[in-house]
Amino acid sequence: MKATTAWIWAIFTLFFTRGLLFATWSTRGPEIRDALNLDLQAMGWYAACLSVGSVTGVLISERIVEKIGSRRYSILSYVILGGALVLLGLNLAWENTPMSFLVTALLGLPLGMADYDNNLEASNINRESAKNRVPMLHGGYSVGVLLGSALVGVAITAGLGITPDFISIGLIVIALSVLVSFAIGKNNGKVDRSHMASSEIAKISFKAIAKESRSRQIGLIGFAFVFAEGVGVVWIPIALVQQGFSPALAAFSYTLFGLGFVIMRFVGGPIADKIGRRKVVLFSAITATAGIVIFMATPLLSIPLVGALLWGLGDSIGLAMCVAAMGDDPLRVSARMSFLWTLVYLANLAVGPIIGSLSSIGGLLAAFLAPIILLVAAGVLSKSVSETHPDAVQETVAT
């Protein structure tokens, strides 16, 4: 299937609406904490509900998409996603803490479902196109996050409460996402295994993919970049305030980190077309590592804004190269995507416990050595994402 303009923009829009919704939820975090009367420890468990739901969403996606196709699965996941945000808004008005925890897990479920499906489609677009499209498609998510954060600021300034905000954004996400989902091919994502022998099916199972050396290496690269992103998202403002900088400068530093993602995701595709996926991963790992090192050296250099920007620029498209590489073989793309996104969400889950534990030993800035070690490993393994890697496209299973 040719990568049509309508298909490309539909997937871009789906990434955008997911970013818009996620930013709306996350930016309202302090109000959620106050509405439910949660202390910091309880807030951590509350946030974990979203992650647990997301991991579950990824794990159930592969077989369902193969049966009903990406179009129907997209509609299903985004209807649940928008509806869950509406229901959460109502629960916060009712101050129902137990139900809000459950609804937040429900919110995480379609986030993982949609993430899997969107990236499956992105990898297929990338394979059917003459250009690297995944960075630009991921850019839709970044634009959604920036717009969502800005809209929350406007809503708070205008006195719009969290409940009407969640309800309105949830309904917008449902309407827009369902509309654009019809641009996805009717049979996209479907896989008919009825004609395959059990031994042939086993060759493209999750377990078989996990045994592939190339897939494991790509998975580690994805884990590294997502872990580094999670550290930046959560800990950049906290680290700067700890170092005595103002909350305003800490917020601006985070904004520069996010701006790095937006910039590189829109220019990263042509760069990958020119130099190839391997060099993109290698140079991205080097740039992100340099940014983290500069940020860690804040007590000496006092240029955290430079570090945050480089961190964002370098961390922005490494995962996109992994998505593109996992889609090289159309027969195995669904199973490989399931494997990759399982590791991605495990990286999200690991950020808090790992950085929290390390910071209690050597301080918060020293804990940032963890993403550096992972990024160095990603650079070393960068050959695995290459378009010319011998395992990029394996022999098609006989039919």
pLDDT at 197: 60
pLDDT at 396: 40
Angle between helix 333-362 and helix 40-94 axes, rounded to 10 deg: 120
The per-residue pLDDT string of the chain (399 residues; one tens digit each, 9 = 90 and over) reads 577 899 999 999 999 999 999 989 988 887 898 899 988 678 778 888 888 899 999 999 999 999 999 999 999 999 999 999 999 999 999 989 999 999 999 999 999 999 999 999 999 999 998 889 999 999 999 999 889 988 988 998 899 999 999 999 999 999 999 999 999 999 999 987 766 666 566 567 888 999 999 999 999 999 999 999 989 987 888 888 889 988 788 878 888 999 999 999 999 999 999 999 999 999 999 999 999 999 999 999 999 999 999 999 999 999 999 999 999 998 889 999 999 999 998 998 888 888 888 888 988 899 999 999 999 999 999 999 999 898 887 544 333
- Burial readout 178-190 (b: 16 or more C-beta within 10 A, e: otherwise): eebbebbeeebbb
The token duo for 106 is 């429900």
- CA–CA separation, 29 vs 35, rounded Å? 10
**Are the C-beta atoms of 174 and 78 separated by less than 8 Å?**
yes
pLDDT at 308: 95
- Burial readout 223-260 (b: 16 or more C-beta within 10 A, e: otherwise): bbbbbbbbbbbbbbbebbeeeebeeeebebbbbbbbbb
**Are the C-beta atoms of 320 and 138 separated by less than 8 Å?**
yes
| Assigned CATH class of 1-184 | mainly alpha
**Are the C-beta atoms of 289 and 375 separated by less than 8 Å?**
yes
Q: 236: closest CA among 265, 258, 264, 262? A: 258
**Are the C-beta atoms of 374 and 227 separated by less than 8 Å?**
yes
pTM to 2 decimals? Answer: 0.87
pLDDT at 161: 93
pLDDT at 397: 38
- CA–CA separation, 208 vs 335, rounded Å? 9
CATH 1.10.3720.10 fits 193-399, yes or no: no
Residue spans per domain, the chain: 1-184, 193-399
Same fold for the domain at 1-184 and the one at 193-399? yes
pLDDT at 163: 96
pLDDT at 348: 86
**Are the C-beta atoms of 116 and 206 separated by less than 8 Å?**
no
Q: 119: closest CA among 179, 65, 47, 183? A: 65
HEC secondary structure over the chain:
CCCCHHHHHHHHHHHHHHHHHHHHHHHCHHHHHHHHCCCHHHHHHHHHHHHHHHHHHHHHHHHHHHHHHHHHHHHHHHHHHHHHHHHHHHHHHHCCHHHHHHHHHHHHHHHHHHHHHHHHHHHHHHHHCCCCCHHHHHHHHHHHHHHHHHHHHHHHHCCCCHHHHHHHHHHHHHHHHHHHHCCCCCCCCCCCCCCCCHHHHHCCCHHHHHCCHHHHHHHHHHHHHHHHHHHHHHHHHHHHHHCCCCHHHHHHHHHHHHHHHHHHHHHHHHHHHHHCHHHHHHHHHHHHHHHHHHHHCHHHHCCHHHHHHHHHHHHCCHHHHHHHHHCCCCCCHHHHHHHHHHHHHHHHHHHHHHHHHHHHHHCHHHHCHHHHHHHHHHHHCHHHHCCCCCCCCCCCCCC
pLDDT at 399: 31
Q: Which amino acid is at 274?
A: K
Q: 262: closest CA among 221, 317, 308? A: 317
- CA–CA separation, 156 vs 28, rounded Å? 9
The token duo for 347 is 């990286």
